[in-house]
A = this chain, B = another copy of it.
Amino acid sequence: MPKISEERKTERREQILAGARRCFAEHGYEGATVIRLERDIGLSRGAIFNYFPSKEDLFLELSYRDNARLVRLWMEKGWEATLREIATEDPAWLGVFLEIGRKLRTDPDFRKRHGARSQDELAPPLVEHVLAEQERGELRHDQPAERVAGFISLVANGLAVQIALGEPIRDVDALIEFVRTAVEPGAFRASSETA
């Protein structure tokens, strides 16, 4: 086999991931067979699995990249930008995350691999970011940073599932306004005063 440059390898990886994403979105996780992956990626199974040893690895890499992109957006442009970004996602792609629910619940190894990298690499800097916002008085501080991040993440999950189920929300601004009231310090002060 001829040697492939690092640059060419990176290109190949990106080609494979882009094709796999389209394939998963169109056919679902189970429906993305090796034959369909070969066709949508435009490479043979040998070439594909040289880069990613299994369909599971392909999906986990795509899932990690999505998480990483959303966490980066949150840290750079704020959680509002992240919710807006999710609202524009492809419903069919978001739907793939729903389809792996059974596998996540019933396959402990898959579950561990799915959560591990996001937990280890993405969660700590995000919680740090929220903590810094709390310290600057930009977010309520009567709840631990993990809980504030957890609440916004739960809303993000609610938004994603509605889009994936074909119920896009009509007004993202109104959603953001509710979340802002829930997490901003002004709201916290008021609820203390009236308590």
Which of under 10, 10 to 19, 20 to 34, or 35 or more describes the interface residues of A? 35 or more
- The residue of chain B having its C-beta at the shortest distance from the C-beta of A161 within the complex is B161
Docked Cα-Cα span, A160 to B95, in Å, equals 15
Count identical subunits in the complex: 2
- A147 touching B161, Cβ below 8 Å: no
Q: Is the interface of A mostly helix, strand, loop or mixed?
A: helix
Q: A155-B158, A161-B161, A181-B182 are in contact. Are A101 and B98 (CB under 8 A)?
A: yes
**A28 in the interface (beta carbon within 8 A):** yes
**A190 in the interface (beta carbon within 8 A):** yes
* Residues of A that sit less than 8 Å from B by CB: 28, 91-92, 95, 97-99, 101-102, 104-105, 111, 140, 143, 147, 150-151, 154-162, 164-166, 169, 171, 174-175, 177-184, 186-191, 193-194
